[in-house]
A and B are shown apart, each in its own frame.
Chain A
Amino acid sequence: MNKDLMGKVSFFQVLILNAIGRLVEKPLADWFEAMHVGLSWPDARIWCNQIGALGGTMRSSVVAATVAGILAADSRAYGQGTILEGFAFIERVFKGARKGKSVKYIVAEECARHGGKPKFMGYSRPIAKGDERLAEFFNIQKRLGFPVGEHLSLALEIEKVLLEDFDEAMNFNGYICAFLADQGLTAQEAYQVCAVLVTSGVTACYVDTFERPPESFLPMRCEDIDYQGPPPRPVPLPDER
Chain B
Amino acid sequence: MKSKHENITSREQIFAQRPATRVWEEQSSEENPYLASALRCHGYDLHELMEKRSFIDVLFLLFRGELPTGDQSQILEKLMIGLINPGPRHPATRAAMHAGVGKTNPAHILPISLSIMGGAHQGAGCIEPAMRFFRQAAKRDPKIVCCELLQREKRPTEGDWHPVPGFGSRFGGIDEMPRKLADQLSRLPGAGKALLWGCSFSEILRPYEIGWQFPGVAAAVLADIGFHPRAGAGLFQYFQAPGLLAHGLEMVNKPLTALPFPSDENYFIEVDSDGH
Question: Do A and B come from the same complex?
Answer: yes
Give bound CA distance, A229 to B22, whole Å. 4
Contact with B along A214-241 (1 / 0, CB 8 A): 0000011111111111111111111111
A131 touches B23 (CB 8 A): no
Q: Name the one of B16, B19, B34, B43 contacting A222, with C-beta atoms under 8 angstroms.
A: B34
Q: How far is the CA of A125 from the CA of B16 in the complex (A)?
A: 19
Minimum C-beta distance from A224 to chain B (A): 6
The reply to whether B23 and A229 form a contact with Cβ atoms under 8 Å apart is yes
Partner of B107, one of A64, A71, A135, A234: A64
Are A130 and B8 closer than 8 Å at their CB atoms?
Answer: yes
Which residues of A sit under 8 angstroms from B70, Cβ to Cβ?
238-241
Expressed in whole angstroms, the Cα–Cα distance for A117 and B19 within the complex equals 28
Instruction: Specify which of A63, A127, A138, A222 is in contact with B13 (CB 8 Å cutoff).
Output: A127
Assess the B45–A229 pair: CB atoms within 8 A.
Answer: no
CB distance from B221 to the nearest CB of A (A): 17
The number of inter-chain residue pairs (CB within 8 angstroms) is: 130
A170 — nearest CB in chain B belongs to which residue? Answer: B5
Determine the distance from Cα of A134 to Cα of B16 in the docked complex, in whole angstroms: 29
CA gap between A222 and B57 in the complex, in Å: 26
Main secondary structure of the interface of B (DSSP, over half): mixed
**Counting CB contacts under 8 A, is A5 at the interface?**
no
Q: Which residues of A contact B57 (CB under 8 A)?
A: 238
CB-defined contacts of A169 to chain B, threshold 8 Å: 4-5, 7
B9 at interface, CB cutoff 8 A = yes
Which A-chain residue is minimally distant from B107 (CB atoms)?
A64
Q: A132-B5, A132-B8, A135-B6 are in contact. Are A223 and B34 (CB under 8 A)?
A: no
Q: Given the known A-B contacts A71-B115, A138-B5, A228-B20, are A233 and B11 also in contact in the complex, defined by CB atoms under 8 Å?
A: no
- Is A61 located at the chain interface by the 8 A CB criterion? yes
Q: Provide the B25-48 mask, 1 if CB < 8 A to any CB of A, else 0.
A: 111110001111000101111001
- A129 touching B21, Cβ below 8 Å: no
Flag if B26 contacts A225 (CB, 8 Å).
yes
- CB contacts (< 8 Å) of B184 on chain A: these are none
Q: Mark B44-73, 1 if CB is under 8 A from A, else 0.
A: 110011011110010000000101011101
Q: Are B52 and A235 in contact (CB under 8 A)?
A: yes
From known contacts A230-B43, A235-B52, A238-B53, infer whether A131 and B5 are also in contact, taking CB-CB under 8 Å.
yes
Interface residues of A in 29-43 (CB under 8 A from B): none
Contact of B22 with A61 in the complex, beta carbons under 8 Å: no
A interface: dominant SS: loop
Q: Cβ of A6: which chain B residues have Cβ within 8 Å of it?
A: none
Please classify how large the interface on chain A is, using the bins under 10, 10 to 19, 20 to 34, 35 or more: 35 or more
With contacts A135-B5, A241-B70 taken as known, whether A229 is within 8 angstroms of B43 at the C-beta atoms is: yes
Q: Does B108 contact A (CB under 8 A)?
A: yes
Mask, B153-180, CB within 8 Å of A = 1, is 0000000000000000000000000000
Q: A229-B23, A232-B43 are in contact. Are A223 and B9 (CB under 8 A)?
A: no
In the complex, A163 has a CB within 8 A of chain B: yes
Cβ B9 vs Cβ A128 within 8 A: yes
Encode contact with B along A61-95: 1 for CB under 8 Å, 0 otherwise.
Answer: 10110011001000000000000000000000000
With contact pairs A235-B49, A235-B52 given, residues A227 and B5 touching in the complex (Cβ less than 8 Å):
no
Flag if A221 contacts B6 (CB, 8 Å): no
Q: How far is the CA of A238 from the CA of B48 in the complex (A)?
A: 13
Q: How far apart are A155's CB and chain B's nearest CB, in angstroms?
A: 12
Given A135-B6, A233-B44: A225 in contact with B11 (beta carbons within 8 A): no
User: Which A residues are in CB contact (< 8 Å) with B65?
Assistant: 229
Interface positions, chain A 119-178, Cβ under 8 Å from B, are 126-132, 134-135, 138, 159, 163, 169-170
Determine which of A129, A222, A223, A235 lies in contact with B44 in the assembled complex, contact meaning CB atoms within 8 Å. A235
Q: Are the CB atoms of B10 and A127 closer together than 8 Å? A: yes
A71 to B115, CA, bound (A): 9
* Chain B residues, CB < 8 A from A233: 43-44
The answer to whether A225 touches B105, judged by C-beta atoms less than 8 angstroms apart, is: no
In the complex the two chains form, is B45's CB within 8 Å of A235's CB? yes
Contact A227 B25 (CB under 8 A): yes
Instruction: Mark B residues whose CB is within 8 Å of A.
Output: 3-11, 13, 16, 18-29, 33-36, 40, 42-45, 48-49, 51-54, 57, 65, 67, 69-71, 73-74, 105, 107-108, 111, 115, 276
Question: Would you give 5 A-B contacts (Cβ < 8 Å), ordered by A?
Answer: A128-B10, A169-B7, A221-B33, A227-B22, A229-B22
Supply 8 further A-B pairs (C-beta < 8 A) apart from A132-B6, A226-B20. A61-B107, A64-B105, A129-B9, A224-B18, A225-B20, A235-B51, A236-B52, A238-B54
- Chain A residues within CB distance 8 Å of chain B: 21, 61, 63-64, 67-68, 71, 126-132, 134-135, 138, 159, 163, 169-170, 219-241
